[in-house]
Structure 1
Amino acid sequence: MSASILSSARTGFRIDPSRGERSARVSSEWFSRPDDERYLSLSDLHAATLARADRATARTVESRAIRVEASRDNVERLTLTVPGQHEPIAPTHWSFGQMCSLVSAPSSYLRDLPAPLAAINLQHGLLSHRAELVKTLETEDGRVELRAVTGPDYGRIWDHELVGAVRKIAGDGTGDTNWKVPGVIDWATMTHNPYVDITKETTTLYASDRDVFLFLVDDTHPIEAGRLPNGDPDLYFRGFYAWNSEVGSKSLGIASFYLRGVCQNRMLWGVENFEQITIRHSKFAASRFVHQATPALRNFATAS
């Protein structure tokens, strides 16, 4: 890195965001996440997702052995009795939809029915379910909650496993390593300032009860991609984002790329060399995560 580039590090790096492409992927996450899904460090994100997994129990049961009960006249208040679990289980909005899908019942229709009728229809579907076996994921936190219902061969990769793999190369994601929550473009000076406080407004570390998503950059070590028409260096940075859902709402994926800047609403500017790995939660998903996704992330993170 040249002396002129080094000297500009604390005031921002001059960039040309018109080069490359724009990506709204991270921005869409930024717009949609409420405050309770935003985390200020990878350690906080990891602790939250690990605690959730520690309270969870996964089991494979015969679908016909599940009993559906309607204790109140509200379809969202249905409870289930599952073999091996003595307490009644309350399905979440997500797991109720999954269960309906597994037995080919329209969830939107059942939600509009009186609870006793919805329970009868769902029970019939479970009794006649051709696959016979289902895998449940239950979490106990004051009450027992059914977080997911999937097929028996569902290959779960826990959200905390993805966050833990990222922590090995990014630490806390706050600047203790090269990899951090990104800074922001100053449009007045056309510079990317990497030194921005991490707040609920600026963070790019997210987790809900259905998924996890994180975006990090190495924006204090620009790479000279070439020269601009005026002779200035054309600078870009390395970046990646990763996502997962341990309850089956989406696959696991890691996308790596180079970018020239990130604006306040987390739109990515000047993106080039985009590459992506996606792993479906099939039977051998955990093995693919260990042998394919994790090394790819590590290799990109340590490349010069």
Structure 2
Amino acid sequence: MEKQNLTRASQELFQRTPDESFESLRALSTYCRAKREQSVDVWHPPSQITPELIGEDFGVRLGSDGAFLLNDWSFSQLCKCAAVGKETINRLSPHTAASALKETLPRSNKPLQFYHRDQVIRSIHGTGYTRLHDSDVVAMLQEFAVDFQPPQVGMNGATGLYAGEQDLFCFLIDPQGWTEIEGEAFAPGFFIWNSEVGKRSIGIETFWFQAVCQNHIVWDATEVVEFTRKHTSSVHSALTEMKRIIEALVAKRDERRAGFIEVIGRAMRTKLGDDADEVLKTLTKNGIGRSVAKQAMAIAEQQGRFTIFALVDALTRLSGEIVNAGDRTDADERAGALLALAQ
């Protein structure tokens, strides 16, 4: 089984400002819906775009819709439309920058889409771009990821649920979804992201993990699967696909949980041997040291018989007394592997 550490959520944790972090999906949904309701699309051909100064700030006039300021992202997009480097324009004075962009913007009549909120342009796109709103993604999560929640709060107070002017990111886990994969404990989780202004694609990454630290690094993840889609005409079908992916993750969790419960039931009924000598021989054959095996047998015997479950439970208790974390993990893995004898 291959494992990997996932750092996507950790990167988000350290780059987000406090006002971009939300305590719950409900709070995140409220923000995203308000952002959507306050934003408007207008269409204008480049011939109706006039870069100009608005007070001391650089902006554009869009025909009869009036003057608008630009944020960093829409300014980058405007420079791209004009085929001029953003860094080059930033070196110029606002007045000179406006003149430079007037000269370099295309003169075609093919309209551009300007998405604005409170007289600030949030994004600029051509006709090939299709918007998928952050609020739609959050609504899908509220409907189909009901058992999932953010991990523990990060070391800087961030929650794993983020949204701002440019994008959305959610880190969700199922804290009650622990089950066994090849003798080790894992729980399901996923990252999901989107940008309704085209800063990033829409995507989801699902995984089974063993631990999440306060830096929101996902440790020892396995079965990592990623799906992404660009914001083109078919982008709304991505929501359907992500619903299917989350439903498949939940179904796999339920299947594994049911299988694990069945294994535990058999382990509680199945004896590892008919007498102490046979049990000791089986334990040592499966990598348990003779001394530890005898201690575990003494604990298990107090429960009445040498069932697989009683011995695994005893070995797990003994491993908790091991000081070194690596040795403790190895001992837990050897103990958990005994459950395979009940399958």
Q: TM-score range by the shorter chain?
A: 0.7 to 0.9
Partner of 2:59: 79
Pick closer, same or farther for the CA change 1:264–1:118 going to 2, 3 Å: same
Deviation digits for residues 142-176 of structure 1 (CA, Å, limit 9, x no counterpart):
xx110001112201111111111111123xxxxxx
Quick one: percent identity of the two aligned structures? 24
Partner of 2:296: none
Partner of 2:41: 58
Asked if structure 2 preserves the Cα contact closer than 8 Å seen for 1:181 and 1:198, the reply is: no
Deviation digits for residues 270-297 of structure 1 (CA, Å, limit 9, x no counterpart):
10011111010112212x2243233323
Whichever residue aligns with residue 179 of structure 2, its letter is I
Asked if structure 1 preserves the Cα contact closer than 8 Å seen for 2:10 and 2:217, the reply is: yes
Give the SS at the match of 1:300: helix
Partner of 2:168: 212
**1:159 lines up with 2:134 in the alignment:** yes
Deviation digits for residues 192-214 of structure 1 (CA, Å, limit 9, x no counterpart):
xxxxx799715110112110000
Whichever residue aligns with residue 164 of structure 1, its letter is A
The two structures have a TM-score, normalised by structure 2, of: 0.69
Pick closer, same or farther for the CA change 1:131–1:265 going to 2, 3 Å: farther
Match of 1:114 among 93, 97, 101: 93
User: 1:150-189, aligned counterparts within 5 Å?
Assistant: 150-170=125-145, 177-183=146-152
Pick closer, same or farther for the CA change 1:294–1:60 going to 2, 3 Å: farther
Asked if structure 1 preserves the Cα contact closer than 8 Å seen for 2:140 and 2:239, the reply is: no
Deviation at 1:60, TM superposition (A): 2.3
Whichever residue aligns with residue 149 of structure 1, its letter is I
Asked if structure 1 preserves the Cα contact closer than 8 Å seen for 2:43 and 2:111, the reply is: yes
**1:48 lines up with 2:31 in the alignment:** yes
Partner of 1:186: none
Partner of 1:132: 110
Give the SS at the match of 1:285: coil
Give the SS at the match of 2:221: strand
Q: Between Structure 1 and Structure 2, how many residues are aligned?
A: 253
Match of 1:92 among 32, 54, 71: 71
Partner of 1:38: 21
**1:145 lines up with 2:126 in the alignment:** no
**1:301 lines up with 2:250 in the alignment:** yes
Asked if structure 1 preserves the Cα contact closer than 8 Å seen for 2:21 and 2:159, the reply is: yes
**1:102 lines up with 2:81 in the alignment:** yes
Q: Distance in 1 between matches of 2:154 and 2:14?
A: 16
Give the SS at the match of 1:220: coil
Pick closer, same or farther for the CA change 1:162–1:226 going to 2, 3 Å: same
Deviation at 1:116, TM superposition (A): 1.3
The two structures have a TM-score, normalised by structure 1, of: 0.78
Deviation digits for residues 225-249 of structure 1 (CA, Å, limit 9, x no counterpart):
122xxxxxx1000001100111111
**1:282 lines up with 2:265 in the alignment:** no
Whichever residue aligns with residue 244 of structure 2, its letter is P
Unaligned runs of 5+ in 1: 1-17, 171-176, 184-196, 228-233
Deviation at 1:31, TM superposition (A): 1.3
Whichever residue aligns with residue 11 of structure 2, its letter is S
Whichever residue aligns with residue 39 of structure 2, its letter is A
Bigger Rg over Cα: 2
Asked if structure 2 preserves the Cα contact closer than 8 Å seen for 1:20 and 1:270, the reply is: yes
Name which structure has the greater RCO, CA cutoff 8 Å, separation 6+.
1
Q: Distance in 1 between matches of 2:64 and 2:174?
A: 48
Pick closer, same or farther for the CA change 1:60–1:295 going to 2, 3 Å: farther
Whichever residue aligns with residue 135 of structure 1, its letter is Q
Partner of 2:50: 67
Higher strand residue share: 1
Moved more, 237-246 or 116-125: 116-125
Partner of 1:268: 218
User: 1:226-237, aligned counterparts within 5 Å?
Assistant: 226-227=182-183, 234-237=184-187
Pick closer, same or farther for the CA change 1:302–1:81 going to 2, 3 Å: farther
Higher helix residue share: 2
Deviation at 1:68, TM superposition (A): 1.4
Give the SS at the match of 2:176: strand
